[in-house]
């Protein structure tokens, strides 16, 4: 766990540095390649995803990304599979992209959303995932159970991400 904490801290430092670049401290066009989300690979390191769909792998295997597909919406989340050999990416429109051994169980892309999707989390057995919207709406796919949501509730601030419990 200490190793994971150190990796996460290092990754957040990279995100902060790249955020400076996107804010005008670097090359033109860097804003779309600025990482928006971080996922730890349980064995090899971590991944970051930028709004363009670009995946940055640090100490982890690069397994592909949807950056060349002409995405309909920016990617905002990434979640690693439990074996470290796959990951899911999610875009603000609910589109889900599975890479490596991550299974595809459906998406909300092309459907109406009240608010944009802001995160994704996989189940412990990799048999499904949850999407979360900024209004607290939860969308379950595969074997991910639905336990409730804040969709339609008043929130003082928007939801910005989610994490699954260890037992999914």
- The pLDDT value given to residue 40: 80
pLDDT tens sequence for the chain (168 residues): 334 333 333 334 333 333 322 333 333 344 456 566 778 877 779 999 999 999 999 999 999 999 999 899 999 999 999 999 999 999 999 999 999 999 999 999 989 999 999 999 999 999 999 999 999 999 999 999 999 999 888 999 999 999 999 887
Query: Phi, psi (5° rounding) for residue 130?
Result: -115, 145
* pLDDT reported for residue 167: 82
CATH topology of domain 35-142: Methylamine Dehydrogenase; Chain H (2.130.10)
Contact 14, 41 (CB under 8 A): no
């Amino acid at each position: 766990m200490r190793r994971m904490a150190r990796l996460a801290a290092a990754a957040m430092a990279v995100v902060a540095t790249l955020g400076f670049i996107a804010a005008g401290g670097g090359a033109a066009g860097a804003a779309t390649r600025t990482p928006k989300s971080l996922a730890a690979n349980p064995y090899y390191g971590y991944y970051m995803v930028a709004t363009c769909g670009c995946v940055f792998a640090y100490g982890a295997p690069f397994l592909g990304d949807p950056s060349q597909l002409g995405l309909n919406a920016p990617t905002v989340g990434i979640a690693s599979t439990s074996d470290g050999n796959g990951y899911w990416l999610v875009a603000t429109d609910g589109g889900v992209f599975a890479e490596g051994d991550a299974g595809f169980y459906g998406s909300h892309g092309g459907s109406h959303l009240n608010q944009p999707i802001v995160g994704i989390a996989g189940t412990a057995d990799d048999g499904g995932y949850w999407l979360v919207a900024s209004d607290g709406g939860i969308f379950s796919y595969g074997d991910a159970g639905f336990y409730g949501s804040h969709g339609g509730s008043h929130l003082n601030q928007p939801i910005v991400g989610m994490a699954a419990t260890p037992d999914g």
